[in-house]
């Protein structure tokens, strides 16, 4: 694994009470699976505290993946104080009433996103009626319908599903920090001293940066990296970072519990470099940089994942567009990718958002919503027509929320076609 170390990923599947998790039934489901037919299931004799405990072993030529499974016939002890918007009231109600759950544990060994994807696929294979998933590694809830959608897509989920971002507020200041990156062999990441006003945008920046480092090499402490066309950052361990942030109200030593006392990395804005090292700007300057609507960099592999999913689910986008295009409460946008001027290779593209005007079987007509940085032939506010082969992402803004290829399943539940 090309990360700092292997880490365990733990998921709890909350189940209907009639779920059969016997050895015979799980073996049957594995044998019938398109993904795990060649796997081996055996009783986990090392786990004497659990009545039903199994090991599922995937033994390929290049690697060996072991999943440990525990089945419990009792309520899972958790609360539902924070429920993501894509989890329904019915899912929460059914989870609260459930007296069955299954714990599935494994160590990530290769690409974290692929390992997470395989863990979700295995979970849905052996307990397809899962109600909710409690991701213990990221301290978050995931919808059972989301897991089934990922399984059916056969495309890895967005990297942002592998971690959560928590915010702690005091007065006019917010401390943002992640959970879940340790299983990827990375340190969790923080931004300290974020102004309350506009902290959501800084959270989006943190989300983008974390997705970038999941898909690349671990960041080197103290070494500047470019994350957008006008933003360079530096990662510092929190004990070093707080020495440069004297006026912060949150995130100091007294605020650090067990989950926050490890060597988390803090995102800093480098200012000037002296003989003694870097000087850093105030976190408020980070918020100001976002006012210019910077272009954030996305890795090539993530761009390809988004592109494949967007095209696979574009028919759903098209159907909603045709049904609601005259409704002012609905807005439809597409992101198209173009080679930049003086490009160096086929991946040297700028991805631009268009408000959709019309769609047919081959083309998309749209109004360009932002002025390009590196394509002189295109201009904001003008209409253009391009083939669907340029599509890399799309967005539906509706009365029910905002929907992308990663969460369109939720709109289908709320507003069926």
Please state the domain extents for the chain.
8-161, 163-292, 300-414
pLDDT of residue 5: 47
pLDDT of residue 48: 64
Long-range Cβ contact pairs of 402-406 (< 8 A, separation 24 or more): 405/306, 405/309, 405/310, 405/312, 405/313, 406/157, 406/158, 406/161, 406/309
More confident residue, 383 or 204: 383
229, pLDDT greater than 90: no
- 290 pLDDT band, cuts 50/70/90, is confident
C-beta separation of 189 from 209 below 8 A: yes
Question: pLDDT tens across 62-116, in order?
Answer: 778 999 999 999 999 888 888 888 899 999 999 999 999 999 999 998 889 999 9
Tokens in use for 336? 């198209």
Q: Which residues pair with 233 in a beta bridge?
A: 225
pLDDT of residue 286: 84
pLDDT of residue 261: 65
Residue with tokens 């429920």: 83
> Is the dihedral angle over the CA atoms 96, 99, 105, 111 positive or is it negative?
negative
Strand ranges (DSSP E) for 17-154?
40-43, 52-59, 64-72, 100-107, 132-135, 140-143
Q: CB 379: neighbour CB atoms within 10 A?
A: 11
4, pLDDT greater than 70: no
pLDDT of residue 259: 62
More confident residue, 105 or 257: 105
C-beta separation of 391 from 361 below 8 A: no
Question: pLDDT tens across 9-66, in order?
Answer: 999 999 999 999 999 999 999 999 989 998 999 988 776 667 688 999 988 767 789 9
Q: State the Cα–Cα distance between residues 363 and 410, nearest whole angstrom.
A: 27
Least confident range from 23-27, 173-177, 269-273, 353-357: namely 269-273
pLDDT of residue 18: 94
The pTM is what?
0.91
More confident residue, 150 or 218: 150
pLDDT of residue 6: 52
pLDDT of residue 2: 43
Q: State the Cα–Cα distance between residues 30 and 372, nearest whole angstrom.
A: 49
Cα 31 to Cα 37, 126, 148, 173: the distances in Å are 4, 10, 19, 53
Q: State the Cα–Cα distance between residues 125 and 272, nearest whole angstrom.
A: 53
Question: pLDDT tens across 305-349, in order?
Answer: 999 999 999 999 999 999 999 999 999 999 999 999 988 888 889
Tokens in use for 166? 């928590």
Running DSSP on this structure, what letter comes out for residue 158?
Answer: P
């Amino acid at each position: 694994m090309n990360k700092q170390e292997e880490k365990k990923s733990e998921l709890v599947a909350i189940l209907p009470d009639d779920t059969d998790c016997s050895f015979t039934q799980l073996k049957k489901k594995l044998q019938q699976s398109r993904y795990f037919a060649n796997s081996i299931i055996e009783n986990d004799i090392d786990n004497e505290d659990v009545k039903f405990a199994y090991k599922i072993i995937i033994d390929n030529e290049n690697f060996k993946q072991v999943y440990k499974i525990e089945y419990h016939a009792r309520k899972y002890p958790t609360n539902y104080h924070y429920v993501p918007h894509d989890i329904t009231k019915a899912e929460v109600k059914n989870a609260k009433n459930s007296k069955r759950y299954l714990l599935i544990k494994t160590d990530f060994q290769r690409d974290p996103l692929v390992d997470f994807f395989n863990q979700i696929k295995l979970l849905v294979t052996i307990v397809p009626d899962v109600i909710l998933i409690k991701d213990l590694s990221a301290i978050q809830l995931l919808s059972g319908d989301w897991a089934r959608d990922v399984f059916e897509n056969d495309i890895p989920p967005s990297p942002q599903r592998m971690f959560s971002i928590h915010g702690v507020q005091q007065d006019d200041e917010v401390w943002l920090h992640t959970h879940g990156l340790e299983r990827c062999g990375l340190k969790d990441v923080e931004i300290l001293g974020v102004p309350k006003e506009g902290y959501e945008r800084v959270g989006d920046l943190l989300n983008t940066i974390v997705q970038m480092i999941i898909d690349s090499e671990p960041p080197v402490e103290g070494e500047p990296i470019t994350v957008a066309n006008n933003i360079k950052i530096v990662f510092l361990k929190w004990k070093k970072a707080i020495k440069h942030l004297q006026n912060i109200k949150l995130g100091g030593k007294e605020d650090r519990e067990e989950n926050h006392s490890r060597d988390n990395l803090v995102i800093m804005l480098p200012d000037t470099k002296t003989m003694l090292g870097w000087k850093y700007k105030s976190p408020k300057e980070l918020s100001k940089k976002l006012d210019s609507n910077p272009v954030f960099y996305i890795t090539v592999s993530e761009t390809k994942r988004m592109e494949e999913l967007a095209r696979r689910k574009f028919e759903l986008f098209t159907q909603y567009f045709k049904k609601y295009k005259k409704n002012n409460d609905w807005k439809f946008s597409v992101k198209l990718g173009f080679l930049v001027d003086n490009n160096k290779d086929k991946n040297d593209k700028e991805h631009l958002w268009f408000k959709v005007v019309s769609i047919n079987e081959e083309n998309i007509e749209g109004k360009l919503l932002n002025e390009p940085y590196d394509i002189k032939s295109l201009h904001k506010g003008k209409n253009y027509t391009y083939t669907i082969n340029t599509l890399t992402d799309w967005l539906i803004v509706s009365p029910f929320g905002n929907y992308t290829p990663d969460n369109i399943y939720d709109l289908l539940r709320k507003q069926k076609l």
